[in-house]
Amino acid sequence: MLEMNGLQKVFRSGLVETHALRDFSLTVDAGEFVAVTGPSGSGKTTFLNIAGLLDGFSGGSYFLDGYNVTQLNDARRSKMRNQKLGFIFQSFNLIADLNIFDNVDVPLRYRGFSGRERKKRIDKMLEMVGLLGRKKHFPGQLSGGQQQRVAIARALAGEPRMILADEPTGNLDTLMAKQIMELLEDVNRQGTTVIMVTHDPNLARRANRHIQIVDGQLTDFQMYEPLSKIQQTAVAV
């Protein structure tokens, strides 16, 4: 699904150069649920932005769903974002001037679906996240958890192959965080790849793979084996 090799990302602001990613390599298979953790400023968001084609990179290669990203122009990238990717952000990023229905409508508009098809999909998604009754409401009239559910509905409306979530529960309380997590797990069970950045080790633990980014580089944890087994080995030594 996603294959990064020796990625470099350098931010230049004035005289300061920040190496946000250095020699970053990662492969994610279709259907995986990957949790990304790491200290603040380590490059997690940078990684997600590049993975989501929202940002370029300075060196290395990136293949998304078999396409060499560097060779795609803006229109093709935008199309890939629209058809294959779904984004969920910590700050929800709903468009304040649009009601819930119209927010979920946005990616479908760029997709070029007919009005009837759009309405069908929007209603289905809002029903799934339990907010169909609120479709005329504006984001400001909803709680944080509800807003994030709208954002998820929006991300899923186009039936993407991969969800990129940047601390989706960062602004939510534990109960709401749990609901969101369950939603994402549901989506993943239906075959959608999920990459989720989180600060919450409990959430990270629920993913079937946990990677850590430290100082722009990857440290791979395999979480398939139970934690206790590793601890046992350590004790045995």
Partner 1 sequence: MLGYYLILGWRSLWKTPIISVLMMLVLGLGMSFSLVLLTVMESSRYNPMQHKIDNLYAVQLDNWSDDPANIFFGSKNFIPTAISFRDAKALLASDIPTRATMLTASGAMLENPGNKEVAPQLHSGYLVTRDFFSMFDVAFASGGAWEKQNSYNGIHAIVLNEWLSNTLFGSVDSVGEMLLVDGTPYTVSGVVKGDWYMAPRVYDYSKNPFGSSPGFYFPLEDIALNDYKRWGGIYGWKQEEINSHQQFLASEALWVRPWLEFESSQQKELFETFVKAYVEQEQNNGRYEGSNKVVLSNSTQWMSIQEGYQAYADYVLAALILLICTTNSIALLMAKFLKTTADSAIRRALGASRYSIFTQHMFEAFLVALGGGVFSLLISYYWFAVINRTMSGWDYQFLSQFTKLSPVSLIFVFVLVLVATTLSGALPAWRVSKTEPGRYLNAE
Q: Kindly list the residues in this chain that would bind partner 1 in the complex (CB under 8 A).
A: 45, 49, 52, 54-55, 74-75, 77-79, 81-83, 87, 89-91, 93-97, 106-107, 109-112, 154, 158, 166
Nearer to partner 1, 107 or 145 (CB): 107
The HSE-up count of residue 13 (CA atoms within 13 Å, CB side) is: 3
Nearer to ligand ATP, 119 or 199 (CB): 199
How far apart (Å, rounded) are the C-alpha atoms in residues 59 and 54? Answer: 16
Contact assessment for residue 96 and residue 140, using Cβ atoms and an 8 Å cutoff: yes
Residue identified by tokens 């969800």 is 163
How far apart (Å, rounded) are the C-alpha atoms in residues 184 and 163? Answer: 9
Stretch that binds ligand ATP, among 33-41, 77-85, 118-126, 175-183 (CB under 6 A): 33-41
Closest by CA position to 154, among listed 186, 118, 181, 178: 118
Question: Which residues ranging from 45 to 84 are in contact with Mg ion (CB under 5 A)?
Answer: 45
Give the helix ranges, DSSP H, for 85-190.
Answer: 100-111, 115-128, 144-157, 174-189
Stretch that binds ligand ATP, among 35-43, 107-115, 173-181, 225-233 (CB under 6 A): 35-43
Q: Is 99 in the site for Mg ion (CB under 5 A)?
A: no
Question: Which residues ranging from 27 to 46 are in contact with Mg ion (CB under 5 A)?
Answer: 45
Out of 1, 2, 4, 20, which residue is the one contacting ligand ATP (CB under 6 A)?
Answer: 20
User: Least distance (Å) from Mg ion to the CB of residue 199?
Assistant: 9
Stretch that binds ligand ATP, among 10-18, 68-76, 77-85, 111-119 (CB under 6 A): 10-18
The Cα-based distances of 15 to 11, 22, 43, 82 in angstroms read: 10, 19, 20, 36
Q: Is 109 in the site for ligand ATP (CB under 6 A)?
A: no
Nearer to partner 1, 83 or 208 (CB): 83
How far apart (Å, rounded) are the C-alpha atoms in residues 160 and 236? Answer: 45
What is the rounded end-to-end Cα distance, in angstroms, of the chain? 38
User: Least distance (Å) from partner 1 to the CB of residue 54?
Assistant: 5
Site residues, ligand ATP (CB under 6 A): 11, 13, 18, 20, 38, 40-46
